[in-house]
Structure 1
Amino acid sequence: MARTPSNMLPLGTKAPDFKLPATNFNDSYTYNDVKGTKGTLVMFICNHCPYVVHVIDEVVMIANDYRVQGIGVVAISSNDVVNYPQDAPDKMADFALENRIDFPYLYDETQEIAKAYDAACTPDFYLFDNRDQLVYRGQLDDSRPGNSIPVSGSDLRAAIDTILYNRKIDEDQKPSMGCNIKWK
């Protein structure tokens, strides 16, 4: 597993649009389809990455906690499925079911959307405000596989709370860390 940090897309960047098929629903989704009234969390994940597997329960809890408060949530996998068949769409649907993911888990076959977001690793988190401006890109928390720090979601939760409670976002953000996106 290659330990890769986020590229840290500039804050204020407008959310790139997309239209991608969901692997856990029979539909395609655009950014506007998943957009929340107060903000939107876009994350790049995949099925096999040990960093994603390490945090997926907390990611699902965050989605469940904040969607009811007006935060839209979507996950995207952009990995090359020819060389990494465990990330194929049918396996994504299985992963979503096994992990109780009930928000759209989209497949970016061309990898254009990962490039538009400048995504580098899995997991990679992007939080946009209600004007679709990037306010947070960074880590879930300080926990990593094997470092004995419990998964809490503290960094991402704090960022979402700043949106919900109209606080000033801390621009000193730690990059996410995970497996590199498997480019074609």
Structure 2
Amino acid sequence: MSIRFSYSQDHDSGLWHVTGDDGERSVTIAHESRDEATAQAQEAFGLVAYRPPPPPPPGHHRFVLMESYFGARDARPDDPRYDAIKSSLPQGCSVGDCDYSFSLDCVCPGTHLLDAIATTCAEIRETHGLFFADAGVEKSGNGSVTAKMAGAQPSWPNFCSWQSSVAISLATPPRT
């Protein structure tokens, strides 16, 4: 089943109108949030809807961290080297759901996004000796920052954008 979604915003009311059309029927949902209107339209066609997480608290930033390209090699999420960090996660982080690499979903304080990421990466490096430096963030239409998995080749800095997403590799290789 192929479904096409179209989006429009009523400038008078501010409501978003999302129309889903599969060729046999058409469903239009109106809501204050484009994301919620889209989710309701997806559900109307029996799809599992994606709803972005709520914005982080003031002064906090949402991001995903993955162990750097230099240290991770072919390590899977169940690799024993991650047992220590799983038992003592950095504050504000939880184990991510990436199938191919170990990741952390984090909501951490910082004066700005890169400050929050750098502080968390430094804590992981000092506490566990792991080089977490690949971060993924996504800025949604309402201005909130949400996590999105995205890989980038390590360099300083390397910004690769896809639509509203950006992948950031935050550090140079570890010194030997």
Tell me the TM-score normalised to structure 1 length: 0.23
Please state which structure has a larger fraction of its residues in strand: 2
Please state which structure has a larger fraction of its residues in helix: 1
Larger radius of gyration: 2
Tell me the TM-score normalised to structure 2 length: 0.24
